[in-house]
Structure 1
Amino acid sequence: MSHTTQSAHYGFAERWLPRLVLAPSFLLSLVFIYGFIAWNGYLSFTRSRILPNYESAGLSQYEALFASERWWTAVQNLGIFGVLFIGGAMAVGIFLAVMLDQKIRAEGVLRTIYLYPLALSFIVTGTAWKWMLNPGLGLEKLLHDWGFASFTFDWLVNPDYSIYTVVIAAMWQSSGFVMALFLAGLRGIDDSIIKAAQIDGASLPRIYWRIVLPALRPVFFSTLMILAHIAIKSFDLVMALTGGGPGFSSDLPATFMYQMAFTRGQMGLGAASAMMMLATVAALVVPYLYSELRSKRRD
């Protein structure tokens, strides 16, 4: 075989082999992700109930969705949960990252302890916190046994506070993840910048607030997007911890969708709520991706 022929075969393999290797996963993603998204979108415009019904119903499912008190409770809970969960996890994670960045002793042990909750599933986290916050089993009973008979912590069974128990459990699980991301970013900052600011008389808290943390804007926005995505699609933690109750006081859009589509036989309504969740995620992710692509083109 001539050198020219070998080069042609090598060029063909180099060009097409990666495409052939990636083609099966691409096709599976196309069918089982985007195909089912399209199918779900179509069902949201039909009269589907227990089983799919492809008779068009126009916007009636969305009208029923927006008229549902339970849906608006889920949306309100998502606002409360999203703000407190994202803000709390970011604050705790950044604080832990800054503390570990001081080269303290036993840093490896502490980092492992803070990251450990991330290794658990949300089902395990929800179950553990359900035991701890149960008035008859957990923290309240323990303090009563210790003699603090007036202590009460009944948020888990109180409709006005049940959503906040979900916030507590979610923050506990995700703060270590935020810490890891910001600690990696902090370790990428040149120490000479901090030393120069200290020579100029700046205190360490001021250095972090005015110099170091602003330099971590890409980490901040990436973490914000990830936590927002987790908040919008939160399902297993709520089901394990509160089951959406008492009543539907701790419902989130994902639990609402599940209840409507799979337990109440209103598949079309569940599909409509799922499309609203998708629109919310897209409203967050698409502008972020667009800004990232535009910044790369400028570079």
Structure 2
Amino acid sequence: MSVSPAPSLGKRLQDWLPRIVLAPSLALVLVFVYGFIVWTAVLSMSTSRLLPVYRWAGFDAYERLFNQPNWYVALKNLAIFGSIYIVVCIAIGLFLAILLDQKIRIEGVLRPIYLYPMALSFVVTGTAWKWFLNPGMGFEHAVRVITGWDTFRFDWITRPDMAIYTVAIAGIWQASGFVMAMFLAGLRGIDSEMLKAATVDGASTFTIYRRIVIPLLRPAFLSAVIVLAHMAIKSYDLVIALTGGGPGNATELPSTFMYSYTFTRSQMAVGSASAMVMLMGIAAIMVPYLYSELKEKNR
């Protein structure tokens, strides 16, 4: 009976090197991501106010959270912003992807132009759109000067009933190119022979997209919804740079509510509770997605 030789030192090092390289990153993720999630959960069930106090209070902070009128304003604003943001980004992204998929000559020029906004930080986007939407120096002022239309008004950013839509406009401008890239990758992965066969059978372009292309883009649609919903829930810097949460609290979102109650209103337990509710909202989106992906992979 032969005995296999022991692996050499080089072979052992080759096997362990990836683990050694990844160990520091894994340790940092465990501490600064999952560790702080656990810490936030502990604070949300404490009596913490200005500073952390590890005195058990059960779900008192959650009860106080859902008794705050501003919290419901933030949830309402998130519903408005999130729904517009997701639907319009997907519509524009799909349209641009279909446009570029026609193999137009200037695709190489248009693609980076559409993707450029995503390369900017949300702070830069918010600041730029704040200037653009400012009635005294932005779009409204330019239209009045150029056209002489003195009664033209576009002052949404200063109106409490319309300000949340300006946040959606800025977010859509930044994310639509990214969604376009997702759909374009999906379109380029569709078998062209299938589309040619449908054309030979007499199917119109509209029918081909409705019956073949759009159903095959289901994974891209699902991924786009997941990514955009995640970005909408955690939007903070865009709102702060664009409107500061105002006028009043007209553009307050759960993320800005969490920051203000934790760091400016000395209600750390309530702020932590709002953070945990946001985390549960993201988990409610991500867990079914991951489950479906794993189920599909196992099949």
TM-score, normalised via structure 1 length: 0.95
Q: Percent identity over the alignment?
A: 59
Q: CA deviation at 1:264?
A: 1.4
Distance of 2:123 and 2:257 partners within structure 1: 18
Residues 13-46 of structure 1, C-alpha deviation per residue, up to 9 Å, x if partnerless?
A: 3543332222211111111110010001000111
Instruction: Give 2:274's aligned amino acid.
Output: S
Distance of 2:27 and 2:142 partners within structure 1: 55
1:82 maps to what in 2? 82
1:135 maps to what in 2? 135
1:144 maps to what in 2? 144
Instruction: Give 1:160's aligned amino acid.
Output: D
Q: CA deviation at 1:105?
A: 1.9
1:271 maps to what in 2? 272
1:112 maps to what in 2? 112
Where in structure 2 are the equivalents of 1:137-216 lying within 5 Å? 137-145=137-145, 146-216=147-217
Q: CA deviation at 1:5?
A: 4.8
Asked if 1:258 is matched to 2:262, the reply is no
Distance of 1:99 and 1:21 partners within structure 2: 43
Distance of 1:6 and 1:150 partners within structure 2: 86
Distance of 1:43 and 1:125 partners within structure 2: 33
Where in structure 2 are the equivalents of 1:286-297 lying within 5 Å? 286-297=287-298
3-state SS, counterpart of residue 7 of structure 1: coil
3-state SS, counterpart of residue 284 of structure 1: helix
Structure 2, unpaired ranges of 5+: none
**Worse-superposed segment, 21-30 or 95-104:** 21-30
Count of aligned pairs? 296
Q: CA deviation at 1:143?
A: 1.7
Q: CA deviation at 1:193?
A: 1.4
1:224 maps to what in 2? 225
Q: CA deviation at 1:8?
A: 5.3
3-state SS, counterpart of residue 93 of structure 1: helix
**Worse-superposed segment, 190-199 or 271-280:** 190-199
Q: CA deviation at 1:10?
A: 5.2
3-state SS, counterpart of residue 36 of structure 2: helix
2:238 maps to what in 1? 237
3-state SS, counterpart of residue 160 of structure 2: coil
Distance of 2:112 and 2:8 partners within structure 1: 52
2:281 maps to what in 1? 280
Q: CA deviation at 1:265?
A: 1.4
3-state SS, counterpart of residue 217 of structure 2: helix
Instruction: Give 2:200's aligned amino acid.
Output: I
Q: CA RMSD in A?
A: 1.5
1:16 maps to what in 2? 16
Distance of 1:268 and 1:249 partners within structure 2: 24
Instruction: Give 2:253's aligned amino acid.
Output: L
Distance of 2:203 and 2:169 partners within structure 1: 35
TM-score, normalised via structure 2 length: 0.95
Q: CA deviation at 1:205?
A: 2.2
Instruction: Give 1:255's aligned amino acid.
Output: T
Q: CA deviation at 1:7?
A: 2.4
Distance of 2:115 and 2:184 partners within structure 1: 12
3-state SS, counterpart of residue 174 of structure 2: helix
Instruction: Give 1:186's aligned amino acid.
Output: L
2:40 maps to what in 1? 40
Instruction: Give 1:73's aligned amino acid.
Output: V
Instruction: Give 1:84's aligned amino acid.
Output: I
Distance of 2:193 and 2:294 partners within structure 1: 31
Q: CA deviation at 1:152?
A: 1.0
Q: CA deviation at 1:236?
A: 0.6
3-state SS, counterpart of residue 154 of structure 2: coil
